[in-house]
Amino acid sequence: MISRRKFIRSSFLLGAGLFSSASLDLLTGCSASCDFVQPVKKRKYVLADIHNHTVLNDWVRNTPIGVKFPMLADFAQDFFDKTSTTWKSSYEAGVDLICTAHFNPFDEWISMPLDPNPSAPANTFRMMDLLEKDLNGPSAKYAKLIRTPEEFKNHFYKGYDKNDPNFRIAVLHSLEGGHALGGRLEPLKEFARRGVVLITIGHFYNKGIATAPNAFPFFPDANSVRPKQGLSPFGREVIHEMEKLGIIVDVTHATSTALDDILKVSTKPLIATHISAKTLGDHAYSFHDEHIQEIVNRGGIIGIPLYPYMLSNYANIKDAEEYGSLSDVVRTIRYVTKISNSLKNICIGSDFGGYIPRLTDMNCLCQVNMLRELLVNEFGNEEIIDDILAKNVIDFIGNNWKRNI
Ligand SMILES: [Zn+2]
């Protein structure tokens, strides 16, 4: 078993080695392109994406490592980021809402020997600043930040019309990974004030809140917490405080034991922004049927990622990239709606921009119309498709985001 520091150092060297040996062709060949837009702007609802890493590349570029080694940031984007979301193309495609998930890999990975990283909340505010600067500047003509439930309701429920020249994509802040709290409850209030609508309390590793499945089994910390430990006492406090402040709890990335605990202590509807069903895709992150059913029975909502590897049982990521398609997404939607006996508790959390592999038939959010066409074939009713792609999660946020500060 190697130490964390040794692991991080050798990973860095391996990354640098890969970088120097990769051909330019390989680097540019993997980058996502956004030039295929099917205009569907006139449709009232197109897509509300509840989990999207819209600014991850910008953030990596702005971190001390990214500033010092911009080529590494370029490499990360070109080599790993095979899906794409741009404000312009999403706007032109008529996307309704994008919930930006802020995730700082450096707080979760590099700071591991210092768990939890006390600078994590400050770094998270910087990520939020970065998004806001863009939305107040170059991207203001495409998208606007929604900071309060009142603004949200005004935007969607009072004469919502995409043909209005003032129409903009509604953007929400969310956090992926409770490590953003830096081990303290206090930052939650400021997150709520800044407009954070939901927090995924777990992520790749146990950061003292809830156990997460082994994201990287070769990593020395992966087995550091026994599965019987679900939600920690601090995790319970986090949920209580989030509920008090009106921030929605996202249970994605929780182990089944953590889920059992969360279901015991939570009193408000839960969201799972980007999960798969274990019956269809047997991965550590996938949820058992009974957990999906319980979340729905309590008025929660299930987001399906546009991520075939997670949704099905491909032998490996390479196979998933070669064969995975929107049909995996449709199959999961069919299954989850069937076992939960509801067409109103399901939505899309693409995970695009989160360094996930691409689908063979969609790599940019602006291509969402292809998913619509497949869903129309499946369900045969445009209204149901509007619900699945957008309306369900808009109503869920409208009903459950409170911001009590
Ligand atoms: Zn995730």
Please indicate, yes or no, if residue 12 is contained in any of the structural domains.
Answer: no
Question: Distance from the CA of 160 to the center of ligand 1, in angstroms?
Answer: 30
Q: Which domain holds residue 344?
A: 44-400
> What is the average pLDDT across 246-269?
96
What is the pLDDT confidence band of residue 3, given thresholds at 50, 70 and 90?
low
d(CA 398, CA 158): 13
Instruction: Band the pLDDT of 21: cuts 50, 70, 90.
Output: very low
Give the chain's mean pLDDT. 87
Is the residue at 349 inside a domain?
yes
Q: How many domains does the chain have?
A: 1
Indicate whether 218 belongs to any domain: yes
Q: What is the rounded CA–CA span in Å between residue 287 and residue 275?
A: 7
Compute, in angstroms, the gap from residue 314 CA to the centroid of ligand 1. 19
Q: pLDDT at residue 138 above 50?
A: yes
Taking the centre of ligand 1 as the mean of its atom positions, its distance from the CA of residue 177, in whole angstroms, is 8
pLDDT band per the 50, 70, 90 thresholds, residue 34: low
Quote the ligand 1 centre to 165 CA distance (angstroms).
34
Q: Please tell me the predicted confidence (pLDDT) of residue 136.
A: 97
Give the amino acid at 38: Q
Please say if the pLDDT value at position 30 is more than 50. Answer: no
Q: Measure the CA–CA gap between 14 and 3, rounded to whole angstroms.
A: 16
What is the whole-number distance in angstroms between the Cα of residue 274 and the centre of ligand 1? 7
Lowest mean pLDDT among 7-11, 71-75, 277-281, 323-327: 7-11
What's the confidence (pLDDT) of residue 38?
57
Query: Within a domain: residue 405?
Result: no
Phi, psi of 173 (to 5 degrees): -85, 135
The pLDDT, as a whole number, for residue 9 is 56
On whether the pTM is more than 0.85, the answer is: yes
pLDDT the model gives residue 110 = 64
DSSP state of 78: I
CA of 243 to the centre of ligand 1 (A): 21
Contacts 24+ apart (CB under 8 A), 291-296: 291/256, 291/259, 291/263, 292/336, 292/339, 292/340, 293/339, 293/340, 294/263, 295/251, 295/263, 295/270, 295/345, 296/340, 296/342, 296/345
Give the CATH number for residue 364.
Answer: 3.20.20.140
Query: DSSP of 241-253, one letter per residue?
Result: HHHHHTPEEE-TT
Asked whether 313 and 388 are in contact (CB, 8 A), the reply is: no
Phi-psi region of 322 (alpha: psi -120 to 50; beta: other; left: phi over 0): alpha
Mean pLDDT, residues 300-316: 95
- What pLDDT, on a 0 to 100 scale, did the predictor assign at position 28? 28
CA 104–ligand 1 middle distance (angstroms)? 12
pLDDT reading at 371 higher than 60: yes
Spell out the long-range contacts of 211-215 with Cβ–Cβ below 8 A and sequence spacing 24 or more.
Answer: 211/254, 211/255, 211/257, 211/258, 212/253, 212/254, 212/255, 212/258, 213/253, 213/255, 213/283, 213/284, 213/285, 214/284, 215/284
Q: What is the predicted pLDDT for the residue at 18?
A: 44
pLDDT band at 24 (very low <50, low <70, confident <90, very high): very low
- Assess if residue 19 is contained within a domain: no
| Cα 344 to middle of ligand 1, angstroms | 22
What is the CA(356)–ligand 1 centre distance, in A?
A: 10
Is 22 a member of any domain?
no
The predicted pLDDT at position 58 comes to 83
Tokens of 318: 């390479």
- Cis amide linkage into residue 116, ω under 30° from 0: yes
CA of 348 to the centre of ligand 1 (A): 13
Token digits of residue 213? 């499945």
| Ligand 1 centroid distance, CA of 305 (Å) | 9
Within-domain flag for 29: no
Determine, yes or no, domain membership for 39: no
pLDDT of 212:
83
pLDDT at 276: 96
pLDDT digits (tens, 9 = 90+) for 69-122: 888 777 777 777 778 788 999 999 999 999 999 998 877 776 665 677 888 999
Rounded to whole angstroms, the maximal C-alpha distance in the chain is 60
